[in-house]
Structure 1
Amino acid sequence: MAERVVLHIGSMKSGTSFIQNVLGNNRDALAHHGISFAGEKWRDQVAAVQDLTAHGGPKQPPLDPTGPWQRLVDDINATPGTAVVSMEFLAPRMTPKIEIIRDALRGRLDVVLTGRDLARNIAAMWLESVQNGSAVTWDGYLAAVRSEDKASPVARNFWNHQGLATIARRWSDVVGPEHFTVMTVPPKGASSSLLWERFAQVLELDPAAFELNVRANRSIGLATAITLRHLNEILSRDGTPAADHRFYDLLVKHLLTKRGLVAREGEPTLGLDERWVMKRGAAEVTALRAQGHRVVGDLDELLPQPVRGIHPDQVSVHQQLDAAMEGLARMTQISMEREDKHRQRLRRRNARRRAQGGNS
């Protein structure tokens, strides 16, 4: 059985993809130190957390004893040494779900919450929301986040994932303060390896023993974000949210954006420098400090600093047109490649039929 389980719960946009990629790409090196990155692949962790999110809570169907969550738990509990789970969808879980997690895992449970300053995260979360189908404008997003109105889906989603003090208190109350750590994301300009060095400290590892040349989770530029937001608005005109359209995640989020438009260079970046953000971020740090959690890094790194960039209104029509045309070219290329593969399959099928007919 696992002697220790390190549960990295997020938050979103706090270097989670980098940590997950380092863990996934260094499975053999981790195993040499008695550490396993749970599941055969990281998608097993995603499926398990999605299963846990949808089942087992009040007014939810029960968890399937053979479902993804239980399979991951069984794998962790049966594997000696230390198991690591890194899944940012865990951070917003409420107390009943946290208790399920705590009670299911037999090894010593240590929970790590990574956090980044509020200014960088507001900008990053809006850009991420656009890639996930949102048609909310930047100004609308800012207003919703500032309101903290739980009736607003935008505000509720943002603070569920970015209310660090609330998340920390809830998890610490269930697992115990001695089993909970806040890890801060280094400020812009810090060494690219520092985040891993901090996570390695939690794992009690020498960070230099691991390969850090992993795929980056790059962000889209502002012209691309505006274009995608407009696309989402058009797709939603039939009354169905863009993200609910079949294959949106595959075609728009992944093939168009993450494998295409993120590579665009020379785009303007989204800026944010508002007094209320600085004040609200400072209040979050004050609350975390008062709660007295173990900290790897420095809580002062969570104090917001102005994010250099511009407002979407300052992006020219020409810049937006360039992004739109590159998006159109990308989707045309994907369609041509798929059509070519389809026709190749048809030719092979027809050739087999002719061969079978000749042999009859």
Structure 2
Amino acid sequence: MTRRCFLHVGSPKTGTSYLQSVLWQSRTPLAAQGITLPLRRPDHFFLTLQLRGRYNPQVDPPRAAGVLDRLDAALARSEGDVLITHELLSVVPQRKIDAFLDRLAAFEVHVIVTTRSLDRQLPSEWQQFVKTRHTGSYATFLDWVRANPDHRFWRGQDFAAIAGRWGGSLPPSRVHVVTVPPSGAGPDELLRRFCSVLDVDAAELDADVERDNASIGYEQAELLRRINETLGKRLRANRAAYAKTVKFWFAEQVLATQSGQRLVLPDSHREWCEEISRQQVERIGAAGYDVVGDLSDLLPAWSQRPTPELAADDGLLLEAALEAMADMLVQRNADLTLIRKLRQDLRRTRKITRSAGTVGARARAALRRLRH
């Protein structure tokens, strides 16, 4: 039988981090059901760097340089079906997609696009942009997205276009559009839908994972945006340093613990959002793709309460900043305490090593004397 290669190509902010955490943590039960995740989890990100033309030897690890060749070798060694998953595959240009699919000619390729309603995606993506140095306000971001069909938001969030780019050369039955369940659905429903495409029993996987890439409140996101402005060019040359320090620590560990206004789409954008959502649903339906879930999941479900434009309250921002600084000072104290302990342990280890070396030298000298 022809082996299958499942390409989970995004989109961002559609539960991809959760799905990937479960999948990588469940490599053994996946293998038992005939699915292999080739290479290591960071390699799937390195693959997106290569396919997007974003690899930078001054910033990215050397391992990222040869990821395509290592993937070829890993696929040749593997057995059964394989799964490649990263949300940034959604923004790969067409010519790179075509070349990559040529490398997979030995496989029956299946494309998986996870999708979520636009009214939920817009606030989430602005937060994500801010976590990656974006300095535009939420209101400005929404205006840009509405006015510019070529805005980079759409490269990762025009679900119909993404499915068309990756699945244009495939039968529609091999393009799987998985909808994120609406709010209130069971916590494992998205995983169950995703696994049904792979012909995998989701109950056999280890779904006990931490939910990373946490959302933050409006005040916290606005605070981070202003910090990005203040940072200027600092940390700009080192993508990994910004991600580790600002995104994964400051945003997702410090700011994410605070309470703030939930970020929602203002009423002034509702009519436009509904129209764009209907267009996407119609395009996906007309293409004849395999829809897992329900296309109605992609239509906005508005709250009955009015949602006016959000405005930054400097008092609330100051409160968030002070709370963050207090948490950072506590963490700094814990870090210094740990560093001091590690230095003491290192000094003791060196002393023991020197003492052992002295004893060893004396023993070797005595042995030489005995031999003579």
Q: Which residue of 1 aligns with 2:144?
A: 144
Query: Letter of the aligned partner of 2:155 in structure 1?
Result: N
SS of structure 2 residue aligned to 1:96 = helix
Which of 328, 332, 355 is the aligned partner of 1:331? 328
Q: Which residue of 1 aligns with 2:79?
A: 80
Return the offset for 1:99. Answer: 1.6
**Matched residues in 1 for 2:321 and 2:3: separation?**
52
- Greater mean deviation of Cα atoms: 294-303 or 324-333: 324-333
Return the offset for 1:82. Answer: 1.3
Q: Deviations over 1:199-255 (max 9, x none)?
A: 11101122222232221132111121111111111112xxx2765467222111111
**TM-score computed with the length of structure 2 as normaliser:** 0.83
**Matched residues in 2 for 1:291 and 1:108: separation?**
20
Q: Deviations over 1:49-104 (max 9, x none)?
A: 22232289xxxxxxx99801221232123211111111011112122211222121
Query: Letter of the aligned partner of 2:207 in structure 1?
Result: L
Identity of aligned residues (%): 30
Report 1:121-132 matches (<5 A).
Answer: 121-132=121-132
Q: Which residue of 2 aligns with 1:180?
A: 175
**Matched residues in 2 for 1:25 and 1:103: separation?**
30
Q: Which residue of 2 aligns with 1:51?
A: 50
Q: Which residue of 1 aligns with 2:189?
A: 194
Contact 2:254-2:328 at 8 Å conserved across structures: no
Return the offset for 1:21. Answer: 1.2
**Matched residues in 1 for 2:353 and 2:77: separation?**
52
Query: Letter of the aligned partner of 1:34 in structure 2?
Result: G
Query: Letter of the aligned partner of 1:268 in structure 2?
Result: Q
**Matched residues in 2 for 1:343 and 1:312: separation?**
49
Query: Letter of the aligned partner of 2:87 in structure 1?
Result: E
Report 1:98-137 matches (<5 A).
Answer: 98-105=97-104, 106-137=106-137
Which of 143, 154, 158 is the aligned partner of 2:153? 158
Contact 2:112-2:176 at 8 Å conserved across structures: yes
Q: Which residue of 1 aligns with 2:290?
A: 294
Cα distance change, pair 131–339 in 1 and its aligned pair in 2 (3 A): same
Contact 2:52-2:91 at 8 Å conserved across structures: no
Q: Any unmatched runs of 5+ in structure 2?
A: 56-62, 362-372
Contact 1:91-1:167 at 8 Å conserved across structures: yes
Contact 1:77-1:107 at 8 Å conserved across structures: no
Report 1:14-93 matches (<5 A).
Answer: 14-39=14-39, 41-54=40-53, 67-93=66-92
**TM-score computed with the length of structure 1 as normaliser:** 0.85
**Matched residues in 2 for 1:22 and 1:65: separation?**
23
**Matched residues in 2 for 1:315 and 1:109: separation?**
47
**Matched residues in 1 for 2:330 and 2:23: separation?**
33
Which of 271, 278, 299 is the aligned partner of 2:264? 271
- Decide which structure has the larger Cα Rg and report it: 2
Return the offset for 1:144. Answer: 0.5
- Structure 1 runs (4+) greater than 3 angstroms displaced: 241-246, 307-318, 333-360
Report 1:276-355 matches (<5 A).
Answer: 276-306=272-302, 313-314=310-311, 316-344=313-341, 346-347=343-344, 352=350
Query: Letter of the aligned partner of 2:100 in structure 1?
Result: I
**Matched residues in 2 for 1:73 and 1:145: separation?**
37
- Greater mean deviation of Cα atoms: 135-144 or 181-190: 181-190
SS of structure 1 residue aligned to 2:291 = strand
Q: For the aligned residues, what is the CA RMSD?
A: 2.9
Q: Deviations over 1:84-137 (max 9, x none)?
A: 111011112122211222121222211101111111001100011111111110
Q: Deviations over 1:126-185 (max 9, x none)?
A: 0111111111101100000001253xxxx2x10110111111112221334342111111
**Matched residues in 2 for 1:78 and 1:124: separation?**
39
SS of structure 2 residue aligned to 1:183 = strand
Q: Any unmatched runs of 5+ in structure 1?
A: 57-63
Contact 1:9-1:112 at 8 Å conserved across structures: yes
Cα distance change, pair 84–328 in 1 and its aligned pair in 2 (3 A): same
Q: Deviations over 1:280-316 (max 9, x none)?
A: 2212212222222221111121112336795674554
Which of 221, 224, 228 is the aligned partner of 2:224? 228
SS of structure 1 residue aligned to 2:19 = helix
Cα distance change, pair 223–292 in 1 and its aligned pair in 2 (3 A): same
**Matched residues in 2 for 1:66 and 1:12: separation?**
24
Cα distance change, pair 302–313 in 1 and its aligned pair in 2 (3 A): closer
**Matched residues in 2 for 1:65 and 1:230: separation?**
32
Which of 218, 237, 247 is the aligned partner of 1:253? 247
- Greater mean deviation of Cα atoms: 329-338 or 346-355: 346-355
**Matched residues in 1 for 2:73 and 2:353: separation?**
50
Return the offset for 1:43. Answer: 1.3
